[in-house]
């Protein structure tokens, strides 16, 4: 999509390790395209066989991830990939969406946040590093030795940025910080932001909100832009169940698209 300032915009997803995450990314991406048909979508995956999927009519491009030789030995391949998205995205203005996020409303207003900063995220449900209880204590303690406990923790499940030297530097620093522990990526982002001092525009929570927190907002329809089904809800099947409530035809469409891939995976495992 080319906007009035001459920049192209698009959305990017990562889908690595298991077919179930590609399934989630496809459900999200097709729902996104249904709501925002003018915005192109790229899914970065780690298996070249996925590129044979018939996605041309969906307005979605699948590209092979630049996986390093030892990446498959890591438990958090997708997080490593996220820290290198600045070198992967084909867009000048990029919206990254986690595969476990479900679009519920056209996203047009989000691009305006790039008028105030080159990078934008929503604050995490646990808004400071002192409250961060889902990351290994060794990394949390390391981070708190460097930064005050009240330092803001942003949620990296949704990131919006403009490609330029400053955001490129942030991603490079983020990759370096991620290499320290090679697990979760959010505290690495906190440290990278502290080192680069890049300004972040704060997105409202309804662009990145959990199903529990979103429940009151979903009663008056259309208050939520993106529903973030984090915490293992893809692997448990809860993401698929929630997606079917909103987009039953899309879930069935993705089932049909992936039927051959799933059969091939099961044959390999048997």
CATH number of domain containing 160: 3.90.550.10
User: Is position 1 within any domain?
Assistant: no
- The Cα 69–Cα 222 span in angstroms is 44
User: Is position 270 within any domain?
Assistant: no
> Buried b / exposed e across 177-202, counting CB within 10 Å, b at 16+?
bbeebebbbbbbbbbbbbebebebbe
Looking at residue 194, its pLDDT comes to 97
Encoded tokens for 244:
């079917």
* Residue entry with tokens 């995976």: 265
Domain count, the chain: 1
User: Is position 87 within any domain?
Assistant: yes
User: Is position 269 within any domain?
Assistant: no
User: Is position 167 within any domain?
Assistant: yes
Looking at residue 262, its pLDDT comes to 55
* 55 CB-near residues (< 8 Å, 6+ apart): 26, 61, 62, 257
| Positions of the chain with pLDDT lower than 70, given as ranges | 1-7, 67-75, 219-222, 262-270
Looking at residue 198, its pLDDT comes to 98
Looking at residue 180, its pLDDT comes to 93
User: Is position 148 within any domain?
Assistant: no
Looking at residue 66, its pLDDT comes to 74
User: Is position 176 within any domain?
Assistant: yes
Looking at residue 269, its pLDDT comes to 33
* Residue entry with tokens 């448990």: 236
| Domain membership of residue 192 as a residue range | 9-125+154-264
User: Is position 149 within any domain?
Assistant: no
Note the pTM of the prediction, 2 decimals.
Answer: 0.91
Q: Is the dihedral of CA 249, 254, 260, 263 positive or negative?
A: negative
Looking at residue 18, its pLDDT comes to 81
Looking at residue 77, its pLDDT comes to 80
């Amino acid at each position: 999509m080319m906007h009035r300032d001459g920049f192209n915009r698009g959305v990017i997803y990562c889908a690595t390790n298991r077919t179930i995450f590609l399934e989630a990314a496809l459900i999200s991406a097709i729902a996104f395209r249904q709501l925002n048909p003018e915005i192109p979508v790229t899914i970065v995956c780690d298996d070249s066989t996925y590129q044979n999927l018939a996605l041309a009519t969906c307005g979605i491009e699948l590209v092979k991830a630049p996986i390093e030789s030892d990446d498959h030995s890591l438990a958090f391949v997708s997080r490593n990939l996220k820290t290198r998205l600045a070198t992967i995205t084909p867009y000048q203005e990029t919206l990254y969406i986690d595969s476990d996020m479900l679009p519920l409303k056209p996203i047009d207003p989000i691009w305006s946040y790039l008028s105030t900063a080159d990078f934008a995220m929503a604050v995490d449900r646990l808004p400071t590093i002192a409250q961060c209880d889902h990351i290994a204590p060794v990394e949390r303690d390391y981070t708190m030795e460097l930064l005050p406990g009240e330092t803001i923790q942003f949620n990296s499940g949704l990131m919006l940025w403009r490609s330029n030297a400053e955001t490129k530097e942030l991603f490079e620093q983020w990759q370096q910080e991620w290499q320290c522990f090679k697990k979760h990526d959010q505290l690495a982002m906190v440290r990278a932001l502290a080192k680069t001092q890049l300004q972040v525009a704060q997105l409202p929570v309804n662009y990145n909100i959990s199903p529990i927190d979103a429940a009151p907002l979903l009663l008056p329809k259309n208050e939520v832009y993106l529903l973030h089904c984090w915490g293992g809800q893809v692997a448990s099947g809860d993401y698929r169940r929630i997606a079917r409530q909103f987009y039953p035809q899309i879930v069935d469409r993705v089932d049909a698209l992936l039927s051959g891939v799933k059969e091939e995976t099961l044959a390999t495992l048997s």
